Amino acid sequence: MNLTKFDYHLHTKHSDGEMSFNDLLEALKGSVDICGVSDHFELGHSHSIDLSENYINEFNSFREKAKSAGITVYLGAETGLGKDGILLPYKRPQIEYVIASLHKVPLKEANFDEYWETYKKIVSKNVKKGGFTILGHVEGYLPLSPFIDRDLSFKKKREIEHYIIEKYFTADWYSALAKDLVENDIALEIHEQSETPRLMILDIMKRSGVTFSYGTDSHIAKQVSKRNYLNMVIQELNLKESDFLSMEKIAQKI
């Protein structure tokens, strides 16, 4: 596996992306050898899709076209994390892997400290419980909406996230989380768009034996080929193929 030519976090226009399957295929050519489509499939999410027969048929056609272009494709789903477990509406045998990300903290009123401590508790509880393949963007694309202006720029949101993770997401918390990630065979996502988790956290995870996944979290075509953060992480931590999950082995378990 070429460590810079895979991507398990991609969205199409069927959820909150802009790409059709044909658009995605064109974006993948030359940049990706192995990938997974992971549209939102989550209770209460405004862009959640129904894995209908039409969607599955479109995906299967895309998979065959990708195969002809030398690209291996898997069918995933990105779902949410709730207080009592992942938020998949129901499971379908076609889904070959699940990314679970915390998109919303279920608190009506909370101060800043309570909110982020609750975020961490929900993540920890779900990782301990298991039942999914990849923990998605744990330090990136945080659910900031109760505290920020909706029109805030992408750059400013990342600056706020950096403040939050430095203050609340401690090395001790991650060390405890790493044990449960390993125990439940859950991979931690290296998230390109937000350039997270931090390198020091990825180092902790590597030394703890945690497996990594990688996702650009692409919603538009120009994001698909981006690899700046991944390249830096691979070089700094000397990552090998054995440090990443094998989607082929995951799919064989379904």
Q: Is residue 137 part of a domain?
A: yes
pLDDT in tens, 75-101: 999 999 999 999 998 766 689 999 999
pLDDT in tens, 119-165: 999 999 999 999 999 999 999 999 999 898 878 898 999 999 999 99
Q: Is residue 1 part of a domain?
A: no
Domain count, the chain: 1
Residues near 237 by beta carbon (within 8 Å), at least 6 away in sequence? 199, 202, 203, 206, 243
Q: Is residue 104 part of a domain?
A: yes
Q: Is residue 58 part of a domain?
A: yes
Q: Is residue 138 part of a domain?
A: yes
CA 165/CA 148 separation, integer angstroms: 16
Element containing residue 171 per DSSP (H, E): helix 171-183
Question: How do 187-191 and 212-215 pair as beta strands?
Answer: parallel
Q: Which domain holds residue 55?
A: 6-253
Q: 137 by DSSP, 3-state: which? A: coil
Chain-centroid distance of CA 233 in Å reads 17
pTM: 0.96
Q: Is residue 147 part of a domain?
A: yes
Task: Measure the N-to-C terminal CA separation of the chain; round to a whole number of Å.
Answer: 21
CATH code for position 183: 3.20.20.140
